[in-house]
């Protein structure tokens, strides 16, 4: 069995009933090791109270406690209080998927709502591999309530050969109280299920056709074995919704670390408004800029995905407007902060930072068939090959000093389109990067709609830097620096201090009027 390090506990116990060592509510199939999970029925009290063993809160101030007054099985449950419509509270634990027999896991739990009209209880399951997320699902309470008001919630998740960790737990949204009890883990084999319906089979076959034609990793697959495993995961499916699991399994099996599945609901939400990340639907964060001490401009570039074309144009224009606003004061250069930018749509980001980057080719997209197209910025336009993908309206911003030094800040949440931006700056004169290695999702993706409104977000091309060298995964910064502590002021962060020191050195002589470039000192410092 693989050793696992559990995170700090942060769910607190209110009551401490007798009989604390009984394990209740754990039913395992196919020899799943019992040590892989802890306290699924909330019956174990910690010797180091007030922590609830095995579980951790997903936000530090979660109002969650063991409750001996209400229980479905045993003597207690976990009570979670949510304060409002936008308040999502969650708890989870992690197990090692390599301890599981089978190629599918079923996670279930029971939830009881104090006020069903004002709160929603959900079960959340996430599967990760060596390159990050493979599968994620959230399902609300379903089915009829029993006599005591408990409802069962179930999620089936595919477990590919690349899977390493499974995170599962409960969530509450809305202003009410929810009790959770009797979590259960079952390891399953898809081959034991009945053959899929014709509808489900055609749906999965169509997804496989798209993958076969367009996936960047297609040549690396043992196609007969891969296709057979995917079709086996389709067993038991009747509707297209049932078949989603097999399609997700197919995408996880590509091993590119970037392809993923979007449900019809996710696609509808993505069309309604822009978000900070398509896959997780994190809220869109506005670009931010300010003038730091010593005449250094600071620009934080978040990710953007979805919405309409006009939303993306406004985003690019907002970024350019911030650069124009602080350009005069930024006499010693700029800090471009790409931390926590998980990517999305490249073109509004590229058009936005274009004034800092400068005109020209910044990289190339290389398809498996050998087709190569340039990625470029020029005078307010961002494009691919011969086509403009996005342009700002009106006169584009131009820097007062186009050779100003730029420090780029990275962390392990910098991913996808943000990594392409980082690579674009890596090839720019008078530029240096700081922080930590990026997330490693450096391929180019394309959206392929499916018949029910879902879509494949498929990695279809590799990306190279402007010299033609493949990015090939994680981008390493020029200078490794610790990231900020939670709540730490910007000017107190080690990575910002390191960037500022370099900018001052790269900018040459500094006097009362600020910094200026001294000869080729910026390019010397950038090497």
pLDDT > 90 fraction of the chain, expressed in percent and rounded:
62
CA distance 70 to 463: 55
Cβ 80 vs Cβ 177: under 8 Å: yes
Buried b / exposed e along 49-65 (16+ C-beta atoms within 10 A): eebbbbbbbbeeebbbb
Q: In the beta sheet, which residues pair with residue 65?
A: 79
CA distance 476 to 349: 21
Reported as a pLDDT band with limits 50, 70 and 90, residue 279 is: confident
Domain end residue (candidates: 225, 255, 285): 255
Same domain, 201 and 180: no
CA distance 248 to 451: 15
Q: Which two tokens stand for residue 252?
A: 């996880």
* Residue 116 confidence (pLDDT): 73
Residues 6+ apart with CB under 8 A from 18: none
**Residue 16 falls within a domain, yes or no?**
no
Quick check: 248 pLDDT over 50? yes
Q: In the beta sheet, which residues pair with residue 459?
A: 445
**Residue 7 falls within a domain, yes or no?**
no
* 3-state class (DSSP) for residue 207: helix
Residues 6+ apart with CB under 8 A from 507: 331, 332, 333, 404, 405, 515, 516, 517, 518, 521, 522
Run of H or E including 383: strand 381-384
**Residue 10 falls within a domain, yes or no?**
no
Same domain, 84 and 213: no
- In the chain, what is the greatest distance between 2 CA atoms, to the nearest angstrom? 81
Cβ 68 vs Cβ 15: under 8 Å: yes
Least confident of 48-62, 123-137, 355-369: 48-62
Q: Which two tokens stand for residue 113?
A: 């709502």
Full residue range of the structural domain in which residue 385 is found: 272-526
Reported as a pLDDT band with limits 50, 70 and 90, residue 241 is: very high
Quick check: 183 pLDDT over 80? yes
Domain count, the chain: 3
Query: What letter does residue 431 receive in the DSSP assignment?
Result: E
Domain end residue (candidates: 173, 188, 203): 188
CA angle 382, 473, 378 (to 5 degrees): 15
pTM confidence score: 0.78
Cβ 304 vs Cβ 274: under 8 Å: yes
Distances in Å between the alpha carbon of 458 and those of 39, 231, 366? 38, 19, 14
CA distance 431 to 290: 19
Same domain, 373 and 516: yes
**Residue 262 falls within a domain, yes or no?**
no
Run of H or E including 177: strand 177-188
Residue 35 vs residue 355, higher pLDDT = 355
CATH number of 149's domain: 2.60.120.260
Which stretches does DSSP call E strand in 248-321?
Answer: 260-262, 274-275, 288-292, 296-300, 305-306
Q: Which two tokens stand for residue 369?
A: 């068939």
| Section 118-131 average pLDDT | 86
pLDDT tens readout for residues 343-355: 999 999 999 999 9
**Residue 29 falls within a domain, yes or no?**
no
| Section 288-307 average pLDDT | 96
* Residue 99 confidence (pLDDT): 83
Q: Which two tokens stand for residue 232?
A: 């086996």
Same domain, 279 and 363: yes
Q: Which two tokens stand for residue 473?
A: 């995964």
Query: What letter does residue 467 receive in the DSSP assignment?
Result: T
Domain end residue (candidates: 188, 208, 226): 188
Q: Which two tokens stand for residue 478?
A: 């020029």
Distances in Å between the alpha carbon of 518 and those of 425, 430, 482, 485, 503? 21, 12, 30, 35, 12
Residues 6+ apart with CB under 8 A from 200: 234, 237, 238, 239, 240, 242, 243, 246
CA distance 200 to 238: 6
* Residue 517 confidence (pLDDT): 40
CB atoms within 10 A of CB 399: 16
ω into 489 cis (within 30 of 0): no
pLDDT > 70 fraction of the chain, expressed in percent and rounded:
85
Cβ 421 vs Cβ 349: under 8 Å: yes
CA distance 428 to 140: 48
Same domain, 504 and 455: yes
Same domain, 103 and 243: no
Quick check: 501 pLDDT over 50? yes
Same domain, 112 and 222: no
Q: Which two tokens stand for residue 133?
A: 């997320």
With tokens 């050779």, the residue in question is 403
Same domain, 307 and 242: no
With tokens 């500022």, the residue in question is 500
Query: Is 527 exposed, middle or buried (CB count within 10 Å of its CB: 0-12, 13-18, 19+)?
Result: exposed
* 3-state class (DSSP) for residue 252: helix
Same domain, 75 and 102: yes
Cβ 175 vs Cβ 420: under 8 Å: no
**Residue 118 falls within a domain, yes or no?**
yes
Quick check: 117 pLDDT over 60? yes
CATH number of 299's domain: 3.90.226.10
**Residue 20 falls within a domain, yes or no?**
no
CA distance 506 to 464: 27
CA distance 114 to 440: 43
For the chain, the distance separating the N- and C-terminal CA atoms, rounded to the nearest angstrom, is 47
Least confident of 104-118, 127-141, 197-211: 127-141
Same domain, 233 and 309: no
With tokens 């800092």, the residue in question is 356
**Residue 15 falls within a domain, yes or no?**
no
Same domain, 65 and 130: yes
Cβ 339 vs Cβ 437: under 8 Å: no
Same domain, 440 and 506: yes
């Amino acid at each position: 069995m693989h050793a696992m390090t559990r995170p700090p506990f942060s769910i607190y116990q209110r009551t401490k009933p007798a009989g604390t060592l009984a394990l209740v509510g754990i039913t395992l199939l196919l020899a799943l090791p019992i040590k892989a999970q802890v306290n699924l029925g909330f019956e174990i009290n910690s010797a180091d109270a007030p922590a609830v063993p095995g579980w951790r809160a997903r936000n530090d101030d979660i109002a969650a406690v063991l409750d001996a007054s209400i229980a479905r099985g045993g003597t207690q449950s976990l009570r979670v209080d949510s304060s409002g419509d936008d308040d999502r509270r969650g708890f989870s634990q992690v197990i090692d998927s390599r301890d599981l027999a089978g190629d599918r896991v079923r996670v279930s739990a029971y939830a009881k709502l104090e006020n069903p009209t004002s709160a929603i209880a959900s079960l959340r399951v996430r599967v990760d591999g060596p390159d990050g997320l493979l599968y994620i699902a959230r399902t609300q309470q379903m089915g009829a309530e029993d006599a005591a008001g408990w409802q069962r919630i179930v999620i089936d998740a595919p477990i590919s050969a690349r899977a390493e960790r499974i995170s599962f737990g409960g969530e509450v949204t809305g202003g009410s109280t929810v009790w959770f009890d009797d979590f259960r883990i079952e390891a399953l084999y898809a081959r034991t299920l009945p053959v899929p319906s014709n509808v489900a089979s055609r749906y999965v076959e169509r997804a496989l056709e798209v993958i076969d034609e367009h996936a960047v990793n297609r040549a690396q697959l043992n196609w007969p074995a891969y296709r057979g495993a995917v079709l086996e995961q389709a067993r038991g499916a009747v509707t297209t919704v049932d078949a989603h699991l097999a399609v997700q399994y197919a995408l996880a099996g590509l091993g590119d670390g970037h392809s993923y599945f979007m449900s019809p609901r996710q696609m509808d939400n993505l069309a309604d408004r822009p978000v900070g990340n398509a896959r997780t639907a994190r809220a869109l964060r506005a670009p931010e800029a300010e003038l730091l001490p010593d005449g250094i401009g600071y620009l934080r570039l978040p990710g953007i995905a979805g919405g309409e074309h006009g939303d993306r144009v406004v985003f690019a224009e907002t970024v350019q407007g911030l650069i124009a606003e602080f350009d005069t004061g930024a006499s010693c250069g700029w800090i471009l902060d790409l931390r926590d930018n998980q990517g999305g749509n490249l073109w509004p980001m590229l058009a936005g930072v274009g004034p800092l980057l400068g005109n020209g080719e910044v990289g190339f997209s290389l398809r498996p068939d050998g087709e190569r197209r340039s990625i470029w910025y020029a005078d307010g336009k961002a494009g691919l090959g011969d086509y403009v993908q996005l342009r700002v309206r009106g006169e584009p911003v131009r820097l007062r000093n186009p050779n100003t030094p730029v420090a780029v800040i990275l962390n392990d949440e910098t991913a996808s389109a943000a990594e392409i931006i980082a690579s674009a700056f890596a090839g720019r004169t008078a530029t240096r990067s700081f922080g930590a290695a990026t997330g490693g999702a450096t391929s180019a993706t394309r959206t392929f709609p499916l018949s029910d409104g879902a879509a494949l977000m498929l990695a279809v091309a590799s990306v190279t830097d402007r010299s033609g060298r493949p990015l090939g995964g994680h981008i390493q910064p020029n200078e490794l620096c610790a990231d900020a502590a939670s709540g730490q002021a910007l000017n107190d962060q080690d990575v910002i201090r390191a960037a500022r020191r370099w900018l001052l050195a790269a900018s040459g002589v500094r006097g009362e009027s600020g910094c200026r470039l001294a000869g080729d000192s910026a390019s010397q410092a950038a090497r």
